[in-house]
Amino acid sequence: MSKTPQRTPIEKRIAFIEIAGADAGSFLNNLLSSSILELTDSNYISSAWHSQSGKVKCIVKIIKNSNCYVLAINKSIKQLITTQLLKYSLNLKVDILSDNDYVAISLLNASQWMKEINPDFAKKRNGMIEIDECRFLRVDKDFYSIFGKSNNIEKLIRSTLESITTCDKNESIKKEISLGMTNISKNIYETFTPQMLNLDTLQMIADGKGCYPGQEIINRINILGNTKRRIKYYIGKSNLKVKSMSEIVDLDNRKIGNLIRYVKIKNVYHILAVVEVNRKHEEVFISNSKNYPIHEQEIKNIL
């Protein structure tokens, strides 16, 4: 029995940067760990920008418009990333616009709904189609991000999505967490390698891609296979307030990692934490909250 499709309100956590100009494609391709040359009108790319030391600056979803590239990032680092992009684009034919009118919403439990609209697109990983001047990005078989100008999104909600009910704004974050997908906020900017954040398994690091910042260190970690910490997904009930980078500890109160993303729905925390890889399905805790254990869940495969 299929679930009822739902949509979120406007996702205020997401911000957009437009990059245009004759050198825009090569500029982005030299910065990011995925090949921008693979972008077409029918797909999008998830990628990351790293420091020279191989730490993740930001995670982006990128679409290509007729005359520019549109980057979706975490809102808390928008100004920081914009400033750095301007610095790196000096003497290039690149225009960077951060004050735009793009917004995003998410569509959940939408596999059957999308099959009825476009059955081929419903099967295409990283696929993208345009409906009513808005871009639908297939994140998972029943989970879609929708990007567009604010007036077009509002029209879409009143027309194509009119029969779809609105869900809690945090449901899309919960879904992303269940898929092991994090984002980079100010609290974890340039803190973790891409392997720690599972960006290698999420196909955000292109094999054999040419030079980009941090490439040598990232490739060395891949070759040696010496990542001692990775993302894990936990669930637990708690009345406590938590925050990004809270310590994750074991029964002996020994630190084994850090919480990097969370959402609380109906008194249940859904958590992503970067922890030691040898910790398998054991009872762990946030900081010293021994009364509130959190339990590891399987990260779902993106279908």
CATH of the domain at 286: 2.40.30.160
Answer yes or no: do 131 and 237 share one domain: no
Question: Within the chain, which residues score under 50 in pLDDT?
Answer: none
- Report yes or no on 211 lying in a domain: no
Domain that holds residue 95: 11-167
Of 101, 191, 192, 182, give the one whose Cα is nearest residue 149: 101
Answer yes or no: do 242 and 142 share one domain: no
pLDDT score at 281: 66
Answer yes or no: do 162 and 16 share one domain: yes
Number of domains in the chain: 2
Answer yes or no: do 245 and 144 share one domain: no
pLDDT score at 21: 96
Answer yes or no: do 252 and 118 share one domain: no
Answer yes or no: do 16 and 163 share one domain: yes
pLDDT tens, position by position, 240-283: 888 899 999 998 889 999 999 999 998 899 999 999 988 776 78
pLDDT tens, position by position, 33-45: 999 988 998 999 9
CATH of the domain at 49: 3.30.1360.120
- Report yes or no on 53 lying in a domain: yes
Q: How far is CA 137 from CA 150, 225, 241, in A?
A: 17, 32, 33
- Report yes or no on 48 lying in a domain: yes
Answer yes or no: do 261 and 140 share one domain: no
Answer yes or no: do 125 and 249 share one domain: no
pLDDT score at 283: 83
Answer yes or no: do 76 and 154 share one domain: yes
- Report yes or no on 137 lying in a domain: yes
- Report yes or no on 65 lying in a domain: yes
| Predicted TM-score of the model (pTM) | 0.94
Answer yes or no: do 293 and 157 share one domain: no
Answer yes or no: do 142 and 244 share one domain: no
Answer yes or no: do 236 and 127 share one domain: no
pLDDT score at 227: 84
